[in-house]
């Protein structure tokens, strides 16, 4: 997000995998990497969030996938990791609206259709418990919504006590919709699997007291239970 990074940096040019994917894959092969997980950018593939597919985006992902196949590297694809089409966020608020389920499912349909003959391992959403908290709670991730005193940045809009739960709920609905689509339309032929990547780490109660046991359980529920 422009102006949100502490060092004022942008993501305009980062590791430049768009142009260097062959070098990247060669490095993977040279180090005997057996599998590679990457995300497909929804707005790169479908710039308007729905409708026409960007041929250059389609070409890039086909080239990357083919290069991985050529080197015998197992492919794992994430369908969402922070790249949300700005046009849909402007139209209905992104993950805050249940309308996102239909659009995300249509995007996934394109991915399954175009890449599923070479991709067998799919993740619908990466860290659906972290993204809502940092996108709609702390405001650290796009679209940078939050409210005092929870925001790590000065947000101009948002409700940190409500919106993270709405976004997480809609992500779960979107995951269910995409999984159903794959099972009904693609799995019999493509023989792949679809899952979701939930961020987690384990905790232990400080003591065996009733309060500490309850606090530990409550923390785990908030981390990955909702």
Minimal CA–CA distance to 158: which of 219, 95, 221, 224? 95
Q: Residue 224 has what pLDDT?
A: 82
| Catalytic hit among 34, 114, 127, 184 | 127
Provide the pLDDT for residue 10.
78
Q: What is the largest CA-CA distance in the chain?
A: 60
What's the pLDDT tens digit per position in 132-157?
Answer: 999 999 999 999 999 998 877 788 99
pLDDT recorded at residue 125: 98
pLDDT value at position 3?
64
Residue 17 has pLDDT above 90, yes or no: no
CA distance 28 to 32: 6
Q: How far apart are the first and last CA of the chain?
A: 27
Mean pLDDT, the chain, whole residue set:
94
Residue 1: per-residue pLDDT: 57
List residues bridging with 123 in a β-sheet. 78, 195
For residue 23, which of 61, 64, 84 has the smallest C-alpha distance?
A: 64
Q: State the pLDDT at residue 195.
A: 98
What does the pLDDT average to over 30-48? 98
Greater model confidence, 202 or 101: 101
Domain ranges, ordered by start, for the chain: 17-225
**Helix 17-30 × helix 55-70 angle, to 10°:** 10
Per-residue pLDDT of 161-181, as tens digits, reads 999 999 999 999 999 999 999
3-state secondary structure of 79: coil
State the pLDDT at residue 204: 96
Q: Thinking of the domain 17-225, which architecture would CATH place it in? A: Alpha-Beta Barrel (3.20)
Confidence of residue 95 (pLDDT cuts 50, 70, 90): very high
91 catalytic per annotation: no
Q: Return the axis-axis angle of helices 100-115 and 55-70, rounded to nearest 10°.
A: 50
């Amino acid at each position: 997000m422009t102006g949100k990074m502490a060092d004022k940096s942008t993501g305009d040019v980062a590791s430049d995998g768009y142009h260097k994917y062959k070098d990247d894959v060669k490095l993977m092969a040279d180090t005997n990497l057996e599998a590679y997980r990457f995300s497909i950018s929804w707005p790169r593939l479908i710039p308007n969030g729905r409708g026409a597919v960007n041929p250059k985006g389609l070409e890039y992902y086909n080239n990357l996938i083919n290069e991985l196949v050529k080197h015998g590297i197992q492919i794992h694809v994430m369908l969402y990791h922070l790249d949300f089409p700005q046009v849909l966020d402007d139209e209905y608020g992104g993950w805050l609206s249940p309308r996102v389920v239909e659009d995300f499912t249509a995007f996934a349909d394109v991915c399954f259709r175009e890449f599923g003959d070479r991709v067998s391992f799919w993740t619908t959403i990466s860290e659906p418990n972290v993204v809502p908290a940092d996108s709609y709670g702390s405001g650290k991730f796009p679209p940078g919504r939050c409210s005092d005193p929870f925001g790590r940045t000065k947000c101009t809009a948002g409700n940190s006590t409500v919106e993270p739960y709405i976004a997480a709920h809609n992500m779960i609905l979107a995951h269910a919709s995409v999984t159903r689509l794959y099972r009904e339309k693609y799995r019999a032929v493509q023989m792949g699997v679809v899952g979701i990547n939930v961020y987690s780490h384990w905790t232990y109660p400080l003591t065996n007291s009733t309060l500490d046991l309850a606090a530990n359980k409550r923390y785990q529920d908030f981390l990955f239970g909702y």
